[in-house]
Amino acid sequence: MALKSIRDALDSGDTLIFGHRGAMAHAPMNTMASFQAAFAQGADGVELDVQFSKDRQLIVLHDRSVDATSDGLGAAKHLTVPQLKALDAGAWFAEAFAGETIPTLDEVFAAFGESLLINVEIKCDSAEAGEIAGAAAACIERFSCSGRVLVSSFNSLALRRLRAIAPGIMIGCLYECAAAEPQTGDFAGEALHPRRQLIDAAFMSRARERGYYVNTWTVNEPQRALELKRLGVNAIITDDPAAIIAALAQ
């Protein structure tokens, strides 16, 4: 069966499950093994983080440094893709994952672009917002997957630049406190991506009145996932897709 577009999936009435950085409860975050685990567990999609390497390639990595999730040291922006590829990005999690590498966004789209919906979170400073938005749009276009991708960011400038470059790509505004919620007219995207604690019936009513999809993070508690489903959130981003899928099936 062909993969639904992300808009059709969000409009389906089902609560979608996105693996946070893959299935990071089960495999090292933001690696191909983690994305494969999310797929195997039945996730509708995955959320991943992108930033620039030294040679201005889009790499899939959450932290600004490689220290915590590899056997290397230093800022990712000071390392080229070949240098990043030489690092072990799996053994820190478990010896079974030794040899996992830091993927590029191209590699993820090549492997999973036709089997998973993908939420690309842009990590950037405002000074590079335009460049990284352009690089993300170009990568999405190369793999002809604009209908299956949503781009989110805490950086509103990156989202505005992406919208100007590629208006057909869905965008979502990430935020973690109520004061940061976009006001009417401030955000021209399709989705709000609030922290899970911000969502209640009043929030959902307000979001629906304004025409937004609501995708929330990071939900690992089965009871909270059930509450969010009943409130009508469109997508739940979780470290443990298998557990949340099982909870919502009750």
Full 3-state SS string of 76-111: HHHCCHHHHHCCCCCCCCCHHHCCCCCCEHHHHHHH
- Residues with Cβ < 8 Å from 3, sequence gap 6 or more? 114, 115, 116, 117, 148
Q: Are strands 45-52 and 58-60 parallel, antiparallel or unpaired?
A: antiparallel
CATH number, domain 6-67+104-248: 3.20.20.190
- The pLDDT of 43-65, averaged and rounded, is 98
- Between strands 45-52 and 149-153, the pairing is unpaired
Q: Known catalytic residue: 62? A: yes
Catalytic residue among 20, 26, 78, 193: 20
**Catalytic-role residue among 26, 62, 78, 193:** 62
Number of H helices and number of E strands within the chain? Answer: 9, 9
Q: Give the pLDDT score at 185.
A: 84
Q: What is the domain partition of the chain in residue ranges?
A: 6-67+104-248
pTM over 0.95: yes
pLDDT bracket for residue 1 (50, 70, 90): very low
Q: Tell me, what's the pLDDT at 250?
A: 83
Report the percentage of the chain scoring pLDDT > 70.
99
pLDDT score at 2: 61
